[in-house]
Every structure is written in structure tokens, then in C-alpha cells.
């Protein structure tokens, strides 16, 4: 299998995500899709929501009885003899939910470094969110989590980013994929709707992954699905001719003889899986992007994610 | 029907089959690969081991066949429907063992290079090929008669060594030609020599495969050591002369050391221009002994860096002259007075009753019958029934021929002034050789005859010295001839002989007991009593033959300018042995099908490629 440009060692990957040069790049980025139903004031303008008080004047509206007389525009009354009331744009928190798949499939093939890359990417997302005053919470789905998920502390300031770093560092890919169970458990913990980014290889039955994403949508989250797929998984050309395939999660084996036709069939199956996921997400307004760890963190953050409309 | 391979060692490549099979086994070995999920592999069918094995074996068989065809093509097989003995070939190897083959070329000598090449050629021959090995020395030596036992030939080849003599290549090649003329097998002759093809006899140039070797001309040689000492001269009055020649085409430097027995007489450094000769006189010799000249120089050929000469001790010689001629008596007395260590006794013919201890007896006119009790010189014998029968007088003889290599005539002007000298026409006996021939009265007249009868030497001088001034200032050559005759008749035998390498020296007068030989290389061997003691001086240096305390030393000098001139720049641009095309017999190669196998391999190649693609 071709070696990944990214390291499979999680601590090293997280150190890469914390490099000052990369952080300077992240300083210029923000999430293109932000959703907040929170009433907690923040620095994120919320277009659909209005609030009585605020810093940014949004518009004027005719006075109706019951409006707060403090927001009557007395200058307009004096000049126009109209009673107008000032309205303001709401600036609230836009929580970011990072849902990181830690199943065994994220660790295979090891050369793809999918899990390490996904964790490093999650750290970068958290930094971007915290830089703009949005709270961040990470949830590890599957892996060593006993109840399907493992929660990080809720972070509200970028100075607490090391806590997320410390939370992610000991993690390891292992166990079955528990997207639906993990997300269900996460949603039960009364999380405020926000931007939910799912980082996974989605290598489960499609209905299971669709069920998980639907759960997020049902709770009002703005969902982003990032399919982590490396070159080793996408291309079977580097595999030997006669192989015994081991399923990283189930341990099941399958003896195959990889002829050129078989390799083409596999590539077609991978493409079909991606296409199905993309189509399904598009139909439901879920942002979707395949992410190749081999391209590197910077390339992903600067090119791939803005191109997918996730960052800007 | 016999199958032959021109290059049987190509079958060593069959080991590649093992590599091929190992690669297949490695390829067949199932390797474990962890994948994220088998979800995406459902479209790839599960393989059964049996199906895989069958397909692999089929491809392996095809590739094995291709490889075997290639190897067999390299081995160049041929089928011969004729009798095997007719198809098998014979190769006659002629190896030059001359002195120049000992010249060093880099790390090894020319001889070693030639022998190594010959060994490789021999090892590459088909097992049923006959080989014959001839060592070309002074005489051709058939070391290995035609045989298919290549191992024995290799053993004999390993035991061969170059000698310090020249090689008679013509004789060796003639022997090889005779072997080739037998006709029972196709025969090729291969000559391994440093002699350029141009210097080979034209008869051989096109018949033999030549493996030339040799390039360097870096050689200095002692061309000769000459001691100037008359037979009757005291060693203190003798002097010597050493000639050293630079055969290289560049200036050479060396040190010449002259020793007399174990005493160093001189040691001097010198420089010689390219292709030049330097002379080194030794004017004073302290006494008798073996004069040894040696060069200290790191040149290519060592055998000619050493030479010997002998300074004989003074030894008085008693000459008994049996004559009644006052004039000859006076002449001989004058010669005796002028010649040191020559003691003359005169006696009338009537008073002669044997040599009486004389070393040589001179008979004037009379010719006593043989055998005598001492070597004798018959001077102008007149008797018709003596050992040198006299036929008639021969007036005004004129010299027409002579053997100037014989010690009796050495150093003489053969054109003797014989105008005032009368001669006798002698009927030469069968045991004596005419050394000097003259023409007189329209007939050839032997003037000097010499030979051995029994164990004594006898000579006759047809010239009558009983004339006025027969030996004097005008006839100094006659005086030298007389002294040479006396010297030859009673040679000063001090047990040391100096011979050129290549000569065969018979050692007489040894006790009839087992004798021991030691050659210059230190080899020692013994021969039983009764056998002739013969020294075959193949190497330069000192041979010792001893029996019961009696020792004879034979000093062999390699004074051979042709062998010492080792430069072969003009020989060939190829300085290492080159193998000409093997002259295989045409009928033996007629059934060759190596090219067909190569074509088969070429045809299999695209099939294998297609099959491999299909299987992939």
C-alpha cells in the first residue's frame, strides 16, 4: 500500500495540528455553515434570529404597542414623525459538535492514518470554533467508549484547547463502528443544536450511517459528514495477488485472488459507496466531503473543505 | 544418435528454474492483509485454493518451458547420427616452454598466462573430445598422448614448466600435424606462444589457432662471459670480459657483480642505452676458479641475469715429440720455450717405447698403430697403413672449409697461409672427423682430422711442419692450430664444464657407482651405476653430478640473444590470449539445433506474456 503523507501516530498528528504555522492559517478561517438556537450571546451573528438589544443595528420596524420604549428611534420620530423601533442582529453562540468515529476500521489500513488524521482535523475545527467564541465539544463514537460514546469537556475558550488535546491523545481506533448508538447517546445528553461534524469512514451498512445522520438532523443540528478515505483503502493495486483479507472490526476473513478485473470491481465498489453517501447527504442538506489524509492537513483545511463549502 | 552440447556449462543456468519455482511459491503464498471492512469486497469473489493452484501450475509450466528452451539454446546442442568417435574432435595443444615464456607480464609469467588459458580451453571442451598436449622445448615433448582423460591432461599441464632454452616450434607443430593427419577425428591445433604469428613458419600460420601472449621488452641479459686464457696460460695472466645487452627500448640501469668462487671481484652500477650492449672487462683475475657474473635488476626475465665461466688453473703438459727431423725439433723447441707450462721431450722414432708419462705424443711422419698409451697427434703421416692412412703428397693446398665451432679451430683464421707448407692426403678413418678441408690437385684433402678411439683422443695434421719458418710470425695461425690440437688431445679437466642451456653433456670418468644429480633449481635425483651420466642442461645455473666423492660441475649459461629479446610489440595488438573460433568439425556441428530452440523460446515469449496478462 502506498505510504500516507500523514503520520499514523496520534500524538504526532496532534502536534502537527498544533503547529503555529498551521494555527496562523486557521486564524483566517471560519465555518461557512453555522447554526445556533442558543440564547447565550456570542460573537456569531445569527441571521434568522433577532434580539431586542445588541451591538449591530439590523433594521427598523413600525412601533406596535408593547414594544420596549427604550428602542424607539426618537430621532426618526422627530424628523419623520413616524414611530419606529430599532431591531438588532443577534450574536449568539454557535456550538460545534465534533463526532469522531474511533472504530477499528478507522485504523486500517494503518498506512492511511485515518484516525490520526481525523483527530487532528477535529482539533483544528475546535480551534477555529473557539477562535470565534463558539463552544466546542468532542464526542468519540465507538472505540473504547463503553456506552457508544465518550465526551470531552465543553470548551468555551481557545485557552482550553489543550484540554481537548489531552482528551484526544490517549485515544485509539478499535472495536466496531457505533455511529448510530454513539450519536444517540450523545444527543441524549441534552446538547444544544449547532454545527455537528461527523468524521468517519462510514464503513457500515448504509442504513446505519443514514440513521445516525438523520438523528442529528432531527435534533436540529447542521450536519457535516466527512468521509475519511485514504489511498490504501481507495486503491487495491498495491495489494498482492493472493491475499487473505481480515476485517479490522469483525475479524472475518475472505480469501481473494486479485486479478485486474477484481481490482477494478473493488474500485467500483468504493466509488459506489462514496457516490451513494454523497447523494444521500445532498438530498438532505448535509454537507459532505471525502477527505484524503494523504493530502495533508493544510491542504485539506485550505482547499478541500472550503471547496466543499464547510470552511471559508 | 548422440546428443552433444557445445557449451555444456550453460546447463548451470538451470538453477534459474529453482529460482522461478521459488518465486511462484512465494507468489502463491497467501498473505494476510487487514482491511477496514469487508463491506466493499463483496463484489470480489472468494477464491478456492484448488482453482488458484491449477492456474499457477499452468503458467509455471509455460515459463519453465521457455526458460529451458533458452538454456538449451545457450548450450548449443547438436544431434549426430554418425558414429560418436567420428564426431568427437581432437585438439592438440602445443605449449611453448621456451625461456622467453618465463618473462613476467604483470603478476604472472607468460607461461602461467598461457597455461591458464590452455587450462580454461581444455576444461571447456566436451568430455568426449580427445586432447593431446605437446610441450615445445628444444625437442618436442608429447606430454599427453591423445586421450579423453581431461583430468590427466590437466594434471600433466600443471606439472609443466618453462625451460631456459629456446623452443623448436617447428618440430612441435610437425608432431601436432602428424596427430592431425590421423584422420579418425577432426583435429585442431592450438599454439600457445609468445612468438608473433609473423615469425612462425608460413607452413603453420594458417593451420594453427594461435594464442599470442607477451608484450614487455624489459630485459637485460648477460650476453656472454669470456675468459681469455690460453691452455698453457697462468690464471694470473688471464683476463675476462662480460657483455651485457639491454634488450629494452628504454634506458636500463643495473648492477653487475663478478665473483670468483666466493670472492667478489667487482661490483659496479651501469646504465645502458636502449637496445645497446655494454662491455665490462676484468683485467686482473687473482687465481683459478669459477667466474660468476650476475645482474641485479628487476627485469622481466631472470634466467639470463647469471652466467658462468671457468678460469683454469695452470697445469703443465708434457709433450713427447717423436721425430728425427732437426728442423722440426728446432721448431718445437722454439714453441716450447715460448709457451709456458709446455714441457717438450724429443725422442727419435727408434727410441720410442711408449708415452712414458707424457700427456700427448706427437708422431712426425710415423704412424704407430692404435691403441696407444696416450693421446697422440699424427703430423703428416706417411704410412699407408697407420690409423691415418696416407695416400699421397698434396702440394699447395688451399683451405676451402672448416668447422670453426670445434675447439681445435676456435679462434683461428681458417684461411691459413699454406703456400710454403706441404701436406699429405690422408684417407680419413671412419671414427675421425675432418675438421679442416683443403683443395689440392683438384681434390679435397682433409688437413685436420680428430676423433676418439677407445677412451683416448687422436688427431692428425696433414700439414708437414718440417719446413723453414713453418711456425713463425707469418704463420701464427699454424702455431695456434698446433697448440689447440695439443690442448684438445689432453684437455684440462678440472671437473667443471661450462655449457649453453639446451645442451646435453655426457659426464665420463665417473666411478661406476650410483650417482646423484642436483639441478639449478635444487631438485635432486639419483641414477643407478652403469647408466650414462648425462646432464640435460634445461635450466641456467649449476648442475652437480657426484659419485663416490667424485664431483663434476656443469655450469649452464643462457646466452641466447633470441630468447632474451623478449619484446613482442610487433606481434599483435592483443596482449592477452584470445580464443579463436573453435574449429569444430563441420560434420559434428551439422546436427546443431540451438537456433531452433532459441526460435522456440522467442515464440513462447509472447504466448507467455499473453498468458500472464490473462491470468493477471
Same domain, B113 and B198: yes
Q: What is the CATH classification number for the domain harbouring B449?
A: 3.40.50.880
pLDDT of residue A276: 93
Contacts B42 to A, Cβ<8 Å: 269
DSSP annotation string for A42-107: EEEEEEEEEESS-SSEEEEEE--TTS-GGGB-HHHHHHH---EEEEEEEEE---EEEEEE-SGGGG
Q: Which residues 51-80 of chain B have a CB within 8 Å of chain A?
A: 52
Length, in residues, of chain A = 312
Contacts A205 to B, Cβ<8 Å: 39
Same domain, B382 and B466: yes
B32 against B272, higher pLDDT: B272
Same domain, B360 and B408: yes
Q: How far is A34 from chain B (nearest CA, A)?
A: 32
CB distance from B614 to chain A under 8 Å?
A: no
Cβ–Cβ of A242/B615 closer than 8 Å? no
pTM over 0.90: no
> Domain map of chain A by residue range?
10-37+93-307, 50-91
The yes-or-no verdict on residue B236 having pLDDT over 60 is: yes
Cβ–Cβ of B33/A248 closer than 8 Å? no
Q: Residue A262 is nearest to which of B38, B44, B615, comparing CB atoms? A: B44
pLDDT of residue A100: 93
Q: How far is B611 from chain A (nearest CA, A)?
A: 13
Cβ–Cβ of B28/A246 closer than 8 Å? no
pLDDT of residue B347: 94
Q: Residue B41 is nearest to which of A104, A109, A256, comparing CB atoms? A: A256
Cβ–Cβ of B35/A250 closer than 8 Å? no
Same domain, B113 and B150: yes
Q: Where are the alpha helices (DSSP H) in chain A?
A: 10-17, 20-26, 74-80, 114-131, 161-168, 179-187, 206-218, 231-234, 260-283, 297-299, 305-307
Residue B253 lies in a domain: no
Same domain, B326 and B474: yes
Q: Residue B41 is nearest to which of A201, A260, A266, comparing CB atoms? A: A266
Q: How far is B64 from chain A (nearest CA, A)?
A: 20
CB B103 within 8 A of CB B194: yes
Residue B222 lies in a domain: no
Q: What b-and-e string marks burial along A29-58, b requiring 16 or more CB atoms within 10 Å of the CB?
A: bbbebbbbbbeeebebbbeeeeeeebeeee
pLDDT of residue A40: 66
CA dist A152 and A159 (Å) reads 15
Residue B278's pLDDT band, with cuts at 50, 70 and 90, is very high
Same domain, B14 and B53: yes
Q: Mean pLDDT over residues B362-380, rounded?
A: 93
Residue B575's pLDDT band, with cuts at 50, 70 and 90, is very low
Q: How far is A259 from chain B (nearest CA, A)?
A: 5
The yes-or-no verdict on residue B307 having pLDDT over 80 is: yes
Interface test with B, best of A242, A243, A262, A265 (most B CBs within 10 A): A242
Residue B594's pLDDT band, with cuts at 50, 70 and 90, is confident
Same domain, B597 and B583: no
Grid coordinates standing for A6?
A: 500523514
For chain A, give the longest Cα–Cα distance: 87
Q: CA angle at residue A231 from B30 to A204, to 5 degrees?
A: 80
Same domain, B473 and B577: no
Same domain, B103 and B206: yes
Interface test with A, best of B26, B33, B56, B611 (most A CBs within 10 A): B33
Residue B297 lies in a domain: no
Question: Pick from B456, B489, B522: which residue ends a domain?
Answer: B489
Q: Mean pLDDT over residues B102-123, rounded?
A: 91
Q: Mean pLDDT over residues B201-207, rounded?
A: 81
pLDDT of residue B587: 45
Q: Which of A149, A58, A139, A49 is nearest to A93 (CA)?
A: A49
CB distance from B610 to chain A under 8 Å?
A: no
Packed helices B594-615 and B49-75: angle between N→C axes, nearest 10 degrees: 160
pLDDT of residue A275: 93
Same domain, B354 and B468: yes
Same domain, B99 and B51: no
Q: Residue A108 is nearest to which of B29, B36, B42, comparing CB atoms? A: B36
**Total domains, chain B:** 3
Q: Of A32-41, A173-182, B184-193, B268-277, where does the model show the most confidence?
A: B268-277
CA distances to A17, A142, A193, A291, A292 from A308, rounded to whole Å, are 21, 27, 22, 10, 13
Residue B509 lies in a domain: no
Q: How far is B21 from chain A (nearest CA, A)?
A: 16
Contacts A260 to B, Cβ<8 Å: 616
The residue in chain A having the minimum alpha-carbon distance to the alpha carbon of residue B48 is A255
Question: Pick from B444, B465, B489: which residue ends a domain?
Answer: B489
CB distance from B284 to chain A under 8 Å?
A: no
Q: For strand B31-35 and strand A242-247, is the pairing parallel, antiparallel, or unpaired?
A: parallel
Find the domain containing B391 and state its range.
317-489
Contacts A113 to B, Cβ<8 Å: none
List per-residue pLDDT tens for chain A, 312 residues long: 344 457 778 889 889 888 999 999 899 988 887 665 565 666 666 654 555 555 567 788 888 888 888 888 888 888 888 888 887 776 777 889 999 999 999 998 888 899 999 999 999 999 999 988 888 999 998 876 665 678 888 898 888 899 999 999 998 888 888 888 888 888 888 667 888 999 999 998 889 899 999 989 888 888 999 999 998 888 888 888 888 889 988 888 888 888 888 888 999 999 999 999 999 999 988 999 999 999 999 999 999 999 988 888
Q: Residue B37 is nearest to which of A105, A242, A256, comparing CB atoms? A: A105
Q: Which of B303, B195, B305, B299 is nearest to B248 (CA)?
A: B299
Q: How far is A118 from chain B (nearest CA, A)?
A: 15
CB distance from B33 to chain A under 8 Å?
A: yes
Residue B270 lies in a domain: no
Domain A10-37+93-307 has CATH 3.40.50.410: yes
Reported ipTM: 0.82
Same domain, B51 and B106: no
The residue in chain A having the minimum alpha-carbon distance to the alpha carbon of residue B32 is A244
CB distance from B26 to chain A under 8 Å?
A: no
Residue B503 lies in a domain: no
Q: Residue B35 is nearest to which of A106, A109, A273, comparing CB atoms? A: A109
Question: Pick from B457, B489, B521: which residue ends a domain?
Answer: B489
Q: How far is A229 from chain B (nearest CA, A)?
A: 10
Q: What is the CATH classification number for the domain harbouring B111?
A: 3.40.50.410
Amino acid at each position: 500500500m502506498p505510504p500516507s503523507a500523514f503520520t499514523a501516530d496520534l500524538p504526532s498528528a496532534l502536534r502537527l495540528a498544533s503547529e503555529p504555522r498551521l494555527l496562523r492559517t486557521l486564524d483566517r478561517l471560519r465555518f461557512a455553515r453555522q447554526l445556533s438556537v442558543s440564547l447565550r450571546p456570542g460573537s456569531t451573528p445569527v441571521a434568522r434570529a433577532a434580539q431586542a438589544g445588541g451591538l449591530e443595528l439590523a433594521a427598523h420596524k413600525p412601533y406596535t404597542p408593547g414594544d420596549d420604549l427604550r428602542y424607539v428611534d426618537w430621532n426618526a420620530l422627530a424628523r419623520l414623525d413616524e414611530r419606529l423601533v430599532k431591531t438588532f442582529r443577534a450574536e449568539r453562540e454557535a456550538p460545534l459538535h465534533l463526532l469522531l468515529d474511533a472504530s477499528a476500521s478507522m485504523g486500517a489500513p494503518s498506512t492511511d492514518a485515518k484516525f490520526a488524521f481525523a483527530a487532528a482535523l477535529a482539533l483544528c475545527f475546535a480551534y477555529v470554533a473557539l477562535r470565534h467564541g463558539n463552544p466546542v465539544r468532542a464526542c468519540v463514537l465507538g472505540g473504547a467508549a463503553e456506552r457508544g460514546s465518550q465526551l470531552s469537556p465543553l470548551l468555551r475558550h481557545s485557552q482550553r484547547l489543550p484540554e481537548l488535546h489531552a482528551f484526544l491523545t490517549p485515544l485509539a481506533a478499535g472495536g466496531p463502528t457505533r455511529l448510530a448508538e454513539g450519536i444517540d447517546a450523545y444527543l441524549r445528553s441534552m446538547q444544544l443544536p449547532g454545527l455537528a461534524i461527523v468524521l468517519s469512514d462510514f464503513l457500515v451498512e448504509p442504513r446505519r450511517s443514514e440513521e445516525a445522520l438523520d438523528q442529528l438532523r432531527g435534533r436540529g443540528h447542521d450536519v457535516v459528514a466527512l468521509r475519511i478515505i485514504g489511498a490504501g483503502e481507495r486503491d487495491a493495486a498495491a495489494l498482492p495477488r493472493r491475499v487473505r483479507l481480515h476485517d479490522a472490526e469483525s475479524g472475518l476473513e475472505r480469501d481473494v485472488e486479485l486479478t485486474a478485473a477484481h481490482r477494478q470491481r473493488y474500485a467500483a465498489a468504493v466509488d459506489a459507496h462514496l457516490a451513494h453517501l454523497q447523494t444521500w447527504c445532498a438530498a438532505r442538506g448535509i454537507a459532505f466531503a471525502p477527505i484524503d489524509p494523504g493530502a495533508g492537513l493544510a491542504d485539506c483545511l485550505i482547499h478541500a473543505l472550503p471547496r466543499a463549502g464547510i470552511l471559508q | 544418435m548422440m546428443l552433444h552440447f557445445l557449451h555444456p556449462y550453460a546447463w548451470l543456468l538451470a538453477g534459474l528454474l529453482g529460482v522461478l519455482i521459488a518465486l511462484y511459491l512465494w507468489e502463491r503464498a497467501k498473505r494476510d492483509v487487514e482491511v477496514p471492512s469487508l463491506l466493499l469486497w463483496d463484489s470480489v469473489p472468494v477464491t478456492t485454493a484448488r482453482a488458484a493452484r491449477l492456474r499457477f501450475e499452468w503458467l509455471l509450466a509455460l515459463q519453465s518451458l521457455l526458460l529451458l528452451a533458452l538454456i538449451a539454446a545457450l548450450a548449443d546442442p547438436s544431434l549426430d547420427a554418425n558414429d560418436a568417435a567420428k564426431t568427437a574432435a581432437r585438439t592438440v595443444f602445443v605449449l611453448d616452454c621456451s625461456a622467453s615464456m618465463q618473462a613476467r607480464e604483470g603478476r604472472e609469467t607468460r607461461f602461467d598466462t598461457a597455461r591458464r588459458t590452455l587450462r580454461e580451453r581444455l576444461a571447456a571442451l566436451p568430455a568426449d573430445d580427445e586432447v593431446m598436449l605437446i610441450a615445445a622445448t628444444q625437442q618436442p615433448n608429447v606430454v599427453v598422448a591423445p586421450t579423453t582423460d581431461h583430468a590427466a591432461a590437466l594434471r600433466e599441464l600443471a606439472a609443466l614448466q618453462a625451460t631456459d632454452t629456446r623452443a623448436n616450434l617447428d618440430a612441435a607443430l610437425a608432431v601436432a600435424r602428424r596427430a592431425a593427419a590421423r584422420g579418425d577425428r577432426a583435429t585442431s591445433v592450438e599454439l600457445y606462444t609468445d612468438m608473433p604469428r609473423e615469425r612462425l613458419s608460413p607452413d603453420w600460420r594458417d593451420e594453427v589457432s594461435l594464442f599470442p601472449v607477451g608484450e614487455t621488452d624489459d630485459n637485460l641479459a648477460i650476453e656472454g662471459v669470456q675468459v681469455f686464457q690460453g691452455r698453457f696460460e697462468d690464471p694470473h695472466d688471464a683476463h675476462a670480459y662480460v657483455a651485457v645487452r639491454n634488450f629494452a627500448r628504454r634506458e636500463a640501469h643495473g648492477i653487475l657483480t663478478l665473483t670468483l668462487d666466493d670472492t667478489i671481484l667487482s661490483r659496479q652500477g651501469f646504465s645502458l642505452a636502449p637496445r645497446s650492449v655494454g662491455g665490462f672487462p676484468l683485467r686482473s683475475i687473482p687465481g683459478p676458479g669459477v667466474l660468476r657474473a650476475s645482474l641485479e635488476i628487476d627485469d622481466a626475465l631472470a634466467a639470463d641475469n647469471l652466467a658462468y665461466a671457468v678460469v683454469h688453473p695452470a697445469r703443465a703438459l708434457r709433450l713427447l715429440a717423436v721425430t728425427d727431423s732437426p728442423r722440426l725439433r728446432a721448431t718445437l723447441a722454439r714453441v716450447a720455450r715460448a709457451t709456458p707450462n709446455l714441457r717438450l721431450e724429443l725422442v727419435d722414432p727408434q727410441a720410442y717405447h711408449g708415452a712414458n708419462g707424457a700427456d700427448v705424443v706427437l708422431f712426425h711422419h710415423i704412424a704407430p698403430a692404435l691403441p696407444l698409451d696416450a693421446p697422440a697427434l699424427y703430423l703428416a703421416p706417411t704410412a699407408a697403413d697407420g690409423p691415418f692412412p696416407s695416400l699421397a703428397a698434396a702440394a699447395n693446398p688451399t683451405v676451402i672449409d672448416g668447422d670453426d665451432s670445434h675447439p681445435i679451430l676456435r679462434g683461428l683464421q681458417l684461411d691459413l697461409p699454406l703456400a710454403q707448407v706441404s701436406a699429405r692426403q690422408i684417407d680419413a678413418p671412419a671414427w675421425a672427423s675432418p675438421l679442416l678441408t683443403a683443395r689440392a690437385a683438384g681434390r679435397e684433402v682433409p688437413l685436420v682430422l680428430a676423433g676418439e678411439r677407445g677412451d683416448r683422443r687422436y688427431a692428425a695434421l696433414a700439414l708437414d711442419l718440417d719446413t723453414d719458418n713453418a711456425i713463425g710470425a707469418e704463420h701464427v695461425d699454424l702455431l695456434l692450430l698446433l697448440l689447440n690440437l695439443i690442448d684438445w688431445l689432453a684437455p684440462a679437466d678440472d671437473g667443471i664444464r661450462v655449457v649453453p642451456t639446451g645442451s646435453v653433456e655426457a659426464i665420463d670418468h665417473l666411478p661406476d657407482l650410483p650417482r646423484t644429480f642436483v639441478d639449478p633449481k635444487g631438485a635432486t635425483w639419483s641414477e643407478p651405476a652403469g647408466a650414462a651420466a648425462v646432464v640435460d642442461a634445461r635450466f641456467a645455473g649449476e648442475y652437480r653430478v657426484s659419485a663416490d666423492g667424485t664431483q663434476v660441475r656443469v655450469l649452464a649459461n643462457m646466452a641466447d640473444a633470441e630468447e632474451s629479446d623478449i619484446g613482442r610489440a610487433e606481434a599483435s595488438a592483443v596482449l592477452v590470449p584470445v580464443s579463436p573460433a573453435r574449429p569444430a568439425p563441420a560434420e559434428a556441428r551439422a546436427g546443431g539445433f540451438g537456433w531452433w530452440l532459441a526460435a522456440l523460446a522467442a515464440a513462447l515469449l509472447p504466448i507467455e506474456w499473453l498468458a500472464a496478462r490473462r491470468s493477471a
